[in-house]
Chain A
Amino acid sequence: MIKLGKIRIGICLIITAVVLSIFCWPSVISIEGQETISETPVQIRPDYTNVTIPANIAPLNFTIEKEANAYKVKVHSKLGEPIELYSKSNKIKIPQKKWHQLLSKNIGNDLYIDITVDENASLTRYPTITNKISADNIDRYLFYRRHHPTHYLYNGNVGVYQYDLENNKETCVLDGYSFDDSGCVNCHTFCSGKTNPMTLAIRSMNFGSSMLLIKDGIAKKITAKITYTAWHPSGKILAFSANDVRQFFHSANKEVRDAIDMDSMMAYYLIDSNKIKTTEALSTKNVLETYPCWSPDGKYLYFCKAPLTWKKGSEIPPAGFQNIKYDLVRISYDIQNDQWGQVETIISAKDNSSSNLLPCISPDGRWLLYCQCSYGCFPAFRQDSDLYLVDLTAPEVDGKYQSRKLDINSDQSDAYHSFSSNSRWIVFSSKRGKGPFTRPYICSIDQQGRTTKPFVLPQKDPEFLDNCLDTYTVPELAVEPVTIKANALAKLIRSSQNLNVDIPVSMASPKVGVDKNEYPQVQE
């Protein structure tokens, strides 16, 4: 006699099997028949048309901007097996393995995407989308900050994330919620595209401002108020700026936020001797110094400077803040003798009537990429911020460097840029098409400094960025991931294990150290 319990189990199993069959059985879609050829191209979102892509990039999934009953997409190139996809949904997700196989076989070739749609039993085939597969790979990991377009942080979650460009997988390096309700993780800096050593800056109401120095898998907390940092290629020196940056708001500007450095200075941290030092040229009174960036050979430190025209304690923003325009300069450095040379102007604000900010030099040492905007120190908040390129190996006869506006710019803010370790890819943040929501864009740059049409960071779900209420900033490429776990970093932040640094008395302005009163500050 069969027990009642067994009958019940049997019925349950049958029902489960039926339900699973209904919902999980792959539906066979067929798009066959006479095709009409359309002359107008079909729009795809994100815009992955006429772009140059690295061979190691993850699938560029997209949405077809056309309502139809079914879709057929063929991704193919000169060699290898084409990828054919049939879908009832306009969301096209390309299988990762086949994609990588196709791309690796066609390095340097064109990549074609054929789209056919079935609209009421009539098939329309649209013009082929052509992209180029570059011979140069991109660094596998992209690091960025991700958070809401913050105006005044309280309870917001700001984190630094690493994105595997080969499989569209995001993992959290450290987020603010892991150590405090008002924790903020800001600038992440790598040494020559490697995550060892690296720094992460944090701000918190309860644990103050500090910098995490991660080297050889060990993290140390340095309780110093450090804003923008740059690693010397030797990994022995960290140049940084300390900024008294304040946020204010516009009544009628498209971008509500703006920021100003009420005061700033630069210094450098000698890792081995655990000392912070500065020099007159980096911390001149009545001069705002910021955005340090080392040349790949470590012989020059590039940075931006502008005159400080207001007195301490002035209102925010101070009168004449629109007239603050930064020069892009450099200073030579001799690491053997720890000696600084003279400041040399590369791009003068007087010459271009703009503020020249965020210098970034390609690892091959040839290109200087920077932002140019109408005024101020914060290009991410300036709608007119554009990226400019300088060929460092070809100064004019008169000694002046010639800058060129890149055609990758948009009518919105383009800023926060970095190069790949092979100098062939640029990644930057842009507000194009998404208002306050900044997105990372990638484009290639050749040996002549010619760039290609930028494309947005690909995602597993092609519609992800259409709904994403976060903004992505400070994108930095690296060849390796961060291996230290977020919980270990969070534990360190909450602990009292501080690495006390020998700070020179001359660094009085702005104060270097923990200042809880200054929190919250600018987020972007």
Chain B
Amino acid sequence: MADKKNENIIPDAIHSAVAVVFFALYFLYLWFIVDPKLIFHSGGKITNYPVFFKGLDFFFPFLSRPGGAAEYLAAFLSQGLFFSWLGALVLTAVGMAICFCLRYILKSCGAKADGWFWFLPVILFAVVYGRYSFNFVTTVALLISLVFLCLYLKIKTKTKAGQFFVFTALSIASYSIAGGAFLLFVASAILYDLFFRNNKALFVGQFILSILIPYTVGFYLAGQTMIDACTSLLPFSWKIIIHEDAKSTALLMYSIYLLAPVAVASLGIITQKPAVMPAKLKTIFTTGFRSWSGCLITLLIIAAAVGISFDRKNKRLFQCDYYSYYQDWDKVVTVARNDLNSMFLCSAATRALYHQDKLFDKMFEFYQFPTILFMQTQDQKKLFWKQADIYFELGYINMAEHKWTSCLDAFGERPMILKRLAWINMVKENSDATVIYLNSLKRTFFFNDFADKYLALLKTDPDLLTDPEIQNWRKKMITKDYSLDFSDPETALINLLQSDINNRMAYEYQMSWFLLTRQLDKIALSLNYLKFYNYTTLPQCLEDAALLYQVRTDKKLVLNEPLKISSQAQQRYANFSQICSAYQANETAMFDQLRGHYGNDYLFYFLFNRSGMKQ
């Protein structure tokens, strides 16, 4: 019977090989599917991404509070996510370390073989990262606590006094390093002592100590409130759950935190009171499900958990934001095509199309609405990150400064923000403020080249007159000072063109605004400026608009050579009108029919006040 049971258990060598494969898959999943560089970039969403600067002056303040060391370590390690491969490596290493700690704890609690349970943390982490949530500080704090727990389980003393001394020393150390996360160590260690060392006498002392340490170190010495002293770095700390994205995966983080104490308690109960659990379940628990069927079930659970929880929509938002920031317009358009109903993606695609000189050809392939251009919604402040570059590129440098400076508060001193603010101040000729931003940027890992380049340039050319890019932006910058309010984009765009008629983006956005607000008369008035912006032919959207204007006003539009309405456009319009007449009685049928043929055309948008987005 016993032999039969053992046959089901995977041998050590195979188990280790499977574990290696499993972690390798986890690494590849993070690298290629999650793409950690997107998390580093934060997508204008992750507000709790740790800020890190080189230098001791950044390091020392961390030492002044319990948990500061864990925070510093997390901040340092999280910089690795700048590169996806390195980020995946960091996240895998931390996940693996947590798994191995859990495995050690399970073994210490009498689990006869290390099965699949110990992989549970990385499965949950895979779900967390797949949802583009980042709780790395609390994760590192968890790892530190588990390391201390393993250490505690390893150290065996002969006397109870000795055991209590070890507990005290490790509690103080773990509290100092991991802050409130030390409660995990304390709870698990107490449970272990109760169940496996039979040290009931220590319980009261240990319990008092778990309150006394936060009180003395956190509250009394570090000046924290008692709540903060006890909960800092724990996933339910208010300082962690105030971040919306962290809140979304809070339950998963709670589960990961509870794994160790629950495992210790469960195995303790099984060991002490075998009768409470059916024999079969007990076998599963003590062998950790280490059978081929267990392996299969575990893999299925992983696949299901990862597959179901992976947030593709969120990934697209992060990708689009990342590629927009780094001006990889082809990728922006490609990503946006996968989600034609997202306001942000369509706005980013519109901006990308402008940069690709395809705005008037393809803009209606994406969801369009007047508010799309500048992402105007009720809750503006959440979009500051995403809006800032649009305003900058248009020439509203102050507006961009306002948005990015607000982001500095919301997201912390992230290098992406500092770089933009340095750039804005260079354009505004605020060289002193520029130096402050560049000096900060210089202390980061991956943006220091930019800082070095411009700090050196500022020494020889304080007004940056030799930098052609800066000069171009200065020319574009609006000169008219007025109280900035983008509730009226039309006036804002007119003001830009009055400042600099060469501002092509302002012109194209203005024409887009006229198209989206169906102001045919204004389009007609502005069409001839296309020549000024080196257009030699009328783009399709504008041809459609010109035709609509002629038909609706019965006026002939005089276009400067070589601009003209093509015969194909006239034919297209005639066909469009024919379908409209044919389906006049049935608007739904008309919509479906036109959408199939003209869903990406302005004619469709004009008629239905929305783009058809023909797939």
The number of chain A residues with a CB under 8 A from chain B is: 41
* A487 and B409 within 8 A (CB): no
* A148 and B396 within 8 A (CB): no
Chain A residue numbers with a CB within 8 Å of B223 are 485-487
Q: From residue 114 to 168 of chain A, which have CB atoms closer than 8 A to chain B? A: 148-157
Chain A residue numbers with a CB within 8 Å of B398 are 249-253, 256
* A152 and B436 within 8 A (CB): no
* B402 and A151 within 8 A (CB): yes
Kindly provide the distance from the CB of A120 to the nearest chain B CB, expressed in whole angstroms: 20
With most chain B CB atoms within 10 A of its CB, the pick from A152, A154, A157, A251 is A251
* Among B289-297, B363-371, B474-482, the stretch in contact with A: B474-482
- A463 to B53 Cα, complex, angstroms: 15
Chain A residue numbers with a CB within 8 Å of B479 are 252
A24 at the interface (CB under 8 A from B): no
* B484 and A248 within 8 A (CB): yes
- A491 to B226 Cα, complex, angstroms: 9
Q: Across the interface, name the chain A residue whose C-beta is closest to B397.
A: A252
Q: Across the interface, name the chain B residue whose C-beta is closest to A147.
A: B409
B554 at the interface (CB under 8 A from A): no
Q: For chains A and B in complex, what number of residue pairs have CB atoms within 8 angstroms?
A: 120
- A156 to B407 Cα, complex, angstroms: 9
Kindly provide the distance from the CB of B334 to the nearest chain A CB, expressed in whole angstroms: 32
B84 at the interface (CB under 8 A from A): no
Instruction: Say whether, besides A435-B430, A437-B433, A152 and B402 are in contact (CB < 8 Å).
Output: yes
Instruction: Say whether, besides A153-B409, A154-B409, A487-B225, A435 and B433 are in contact (CB < 8 Å).
Output: yes
* Among B150-158, B254-262, B437-445, B572-580, the stretch in contact with A: B437-445
- A258 to B481 Cα, complex, angstroms: 12
A469 at the interface (CB under 8 A from B): yes
With most chain A CB atoms within 10 A of its CB, the pick from B239, B409, B430 is B409
- A2 to B437 Cα, complex, angstroms: 58
Please pick, from B396, B406, B436, the residue contacting A154 in the complex, using a CB distance under 8 A.
B406
Chain B residue numbers with a CB within 8 Å of A178 are 225, 228
Chain B residue numbers with a CB within 8 Å of A461 are 57
A78 at the interface (CB under 8 A from B): no
Instruction: Say whether, besides A152-B406, A464-B57, A469-B413, A251 and B396 are in contact (CB < 8 Å).
Output: yes
Please pick, from B242, B402, B409, the residue contacting A256 in the complex, using a CB distance under 8 A.
B402
* A469 and B399 within 8 A (CB): no
* A251 and B436 within 8 A (CB): no
Chain B residue numbers with a CB within 8 Å of A248 are 483-485
- A199 to B81 Cα, complex, angstroms: 45
* A252 and B481 within 8 A (CB): yes
* A252 and B436 within 8 A (CB): no
- A162 to B428 Cα, complex, angstroms: 33
- A315 to B439 Cα, complex, angstroms: 40
Could you give 19 example pairs across A and B, Cβ below 8 Å? A150-B409, A151-B401, A151-B403, A151-B405, A181-B239, A249-B402, A249-B484, A250-B484, A251-B399, A251-B484, A252-B480, A253-B398, A254-B428, A256-B402, A256-B405, A317-B483, A466-B439, A487-B219, A491-B225
A112 at the interface (CB under 8 A from B): no
Please pick, from B47, B219, B408, B428, the residue contacting A469 in the complex, using a CB distance under 8 A.
B408
6 closest Cβ pairs, A-B complex: A435-B433, A156-B409, A181-B242, A252-B481, A435-B430, A249-B484
* A467 and B402 within 8 A (CB): no
- A152 to B226 Cα, complex, angstroms: 31
Kindly provide the distance from the CB of A441 to the nearest chain B CB, expressed in whole angstroms: 15
- A256 to B402 Cα, complex, angstroms: 7
Instruction: Say whether, besides A317-B483, A469-B413, A252 and B477 are in contact (CB < 8 Å).
Output: yes
Binary contact track B232-255/A, C-beta < 8 Å → 1, others 0: 000000110010000000000000
Please pick, from B225, B439, B485, the residue contacting A490 in the complex, using a CB distance under 8 A.
B225
Chain A residue numbers with a CB within 8 Å of B242 are 155, 181
- Beyond A251-B398, A437-B433, 19 extra complex contacts between A and B, CB < 8 Å: A150-B406, A150-B409, A152-B384, A153-B409, A154-B381, A155-B47, A249-B399, A250-B398, A251-B399, A251-B484, A254-B430, A433-B432, A435-B436, A437-B436, A466-B435, A467-B443, A468-B436, A469-B408, A485-B223
Q: From residue 455 to 470 of chain A, which have CB atoms closer than 8 A to chain B? A: 461, 463-464, 466-469
A434 at the interface (CB under 8 A from B): yes
B410 at the interface (CB under 8 A from A): yes
Q: Across the interface, name the chain B residue whose C-beta is closest to A181.
A: B242
Please pick, from A148, A155, A251, A468, the residue contacting B481 in the complex, using a CB distance under 8 A.
A251
Q: Across the interface, name the chain B residue whose C-beta is closest to A316.
A: B483
A454 at the interface (CB under 8 A from B): no
Chain A residue numbers with a CB within 8 Å of B57 are 461, 464
* B478 and A252 within 8 A (CB): yes
B425 at the interface (CB under 8 A from A): yes
B314 at the interface (CB under 8 A from A): no
- A355 to B185 Cα, complex, angstroms: 62
Q: Across the interface, name the chain A residue whose C-beta is closest to B400.
A: A256
- A485 to B430 Cα, complex, angstroms: 39
- A149 to B406 Cα, complex, angstroms: 9
* B225 and A155 within 8 A (CB): no
* A251 and B432 within 8 A (CB): no
Please pick, from B405, B432, B481, the residue contacting A150 in the complex, using a CB distance under 8 A.
B405
* A434 and B436 within 8 A (CB): yes
Q: From residue 216 to 271 of chain A, which have CB atoms closer than 8 A to chain B? A: 248-254, 256-258
Q: From residue 404 to 426 of chain B, which have CB atoms closer than 8 A to chain A? A: 405-406, 408-410, 413, 418, 425
* A148 and B408 within 8 A (CB): yes
Kindly provide the distance from the CB of B399 to the nearest chain A CB, expressed in whole angstroms: 7
- A469 to B224 Cα, complex, angstroms: 25
- A254 to B436 Cα, complex, angstroms: 17
Kindly provide the distance from the CB of B451 to the nearest chain A CB, expressed in whole angstroms: 11
Q: Across the interface, name the chain B residue whose C-beta is closest to A255.
A: B398
Instruction: Say whether, besides A249-B483, A252-B481, A151 and B406 are in contact (CB < 8 Å).
Output: yes
B495 at the interface (CB under 8 A from A): yes
Chain B residue numbers with a CB within 8 Å of A157 are 409
Chain B residue numbers with a CB within 8 Å of A154 are 381, 406, 409-410
- A253 to B399 Cα, complex, angstroms: 11
Chain A residue numbers with a CB within 8 Å of B381 are 152, 154
- A150 to B399 Cα, complex, angstroms: 14
A296 at the interface (CB under 8 A from B): no
- A469 to B410 Cα, complex, angstroms: 14
A436 at the interface (CB under 8 A from B): yes
Binary contact track B543-575/A, C-beta < 8 Å → 1, others 0: 000000000000000000000000000000000
- A40 to B485 Cα, complex, angstroms: 50
Q: From residue 256 to 310 of chain B, which have CB atoms closer than 8 A to chain A? A: none
* B483 and A467 within 8 A (CB): no
* A155 and B410 within 8 A (CB): yes
- A465 to B405 Cα, complex, angstroms: 18
Please pick, from A249, A466, A485, the residue contacting B436 in the complex, using a CB distance under 8 A.
A466
Chain B residue numbers with a CB within 8 Å of A148 are 405, 408-409
With most chain B CB atoms within 10 A of its CB, the pick from A150, A155, A178, A468 is A155
- A436 to B402 Cα, complex, angstroms: 11
Chain B residue numbers with a CB within 8 Å of A467 are 436, 439-440, 443
Chain A residue numbers with a CB within 8 Å of B405 are 148-151, 256, 436
Instruction: Say whether, besides A251-B495, A461-B57, A156 and B483 are in contact (CB < 8 Å).
Output: no
- A178 to B485 Cα, complex, angstroms: 34
